[in-house]
Amino acid sequence: MENEALTEDSSPKNSGKKWILWLVIALVIFASFKFLPVDEWIEVIKEWIDSLGPWGPIAYILIYTVAAVFLLPGAALTPVAGFLFGLGWGTLWTIIASNLGANAAFLVGRYFARDFVSRKIEGNEKFSAIDSAVGREGWKMVGLTRLSPIFPFVLLNYAYGLTKVKWSHYSLATLIGMLPGTVMYVYIGYLPTLAGGDSKQDTAKIVVSILFFLGTVAATIFITRLATKTLKKRADLDS
């Protein structure tokens, strides 16, 4: 029963559809913004962000952290960082924000909201499939579930608070496990800036950037599929 929960959502067909959908969305964003005055819009928004000084990134980090604590999906906020801060800084601010949110939710779940979290995950076959393995392999399971898209990110933050995994192990595995997805989602948000940039921008630079994005997507797909297969094998062993 446990490994069936993993198999159902982790089949190559279902995973492939999810990634194809994200790729299509990214390409649609890039194409549509290419024919709109996005450079003017971006300039206005960035001027406002710049006017906030250091409070701009701080505000983003705080909003992201609060969203994670209140079970709101961070995937919607991650591309915003690429749009507002660019690829490099956007990735950095998101890494900080997502890890603060994940750790805050973990601690709340462990020390302040155990009953609430227990009710939320009660009967959740996906979490039951890995719960028994966490006590034995701790950080490895945390990292694998962060890499696999079949587990809800915000719910896992709280759910791991109920397990025996050490906070330090959880924190480090979460940091590493979320990196591939973070880079990809930030890059999606960065695409409008790339598409709406200076018309005299070197075409080769744009092509290289797109190829880098596609490479990031391909690498993320490979990593997540590998993680999902590993999770399934461990669920089979436990069953």
Which tens digits make up the pLDDT trace of 22-60?
677 667 666 666 666 656 766 777 788 778 888 999 999
Instruction: State residue 107's pLDDT score.
Output: 93
Higher pLDDT, 33 or 104: 104
DSSP 171-208: HHHHHHHTHHHHHHHHHHHHHHHHHTS-TTS-HHHHHH
Crossing angle of helices 167-177 and 87-111, rounded to 10°: 150
Task: Tell me 162's DSSP state.
Answer: G
Most confident residue range from 38-42, 55-59, 176-180, 209-213: 55-59
pLDDT at 106: 92
- On whether the CB atoms of residues 129 and 158 are closer than 8 A, the answer is no
Output the average pLDDT for the chain: 75
Residue 172 has pLDDT above 70, yes or no: yes
How much is the average pLDDT of 205-215? 65
CA distance 48 to 220: 33
**pLDDT score recorded for residue 191:** 76
Quote the pLDDT of residue 174.
92
pLDDT at 54: 87
Q: What is the reported pLDDT for 5?
A: 47
More confident residue, 139 or 226: 139
Q: Which residue has the higher pLDDT, 65 or 120?
A: 65
pLDDT at 24: 74
Higher pLDDT, 89 or 219: 89
Share of the chain above pLDDT 70, in %: 55
> Residue 60, exposed/middle/buried by CB under 10 A (0-12, 13-18, 19+)?
buried
The pLDDT score that the predictor gives to residue 62 is 92
- pLDDT score recorded for residue 114: 74
Check whether 194 has a pLDDT greater than 80: no
| Alpha-carbon torsion (222, 228, 231, 233), positive or negative | negative
> In the predicted model, is pLDDT for residue 201 greater than 60?
no
What is the reported pLDDT for 86? 87
Rounded average pLDDT over 86-90: 91
Which is higher by pLDDT, 133 or 98?
98
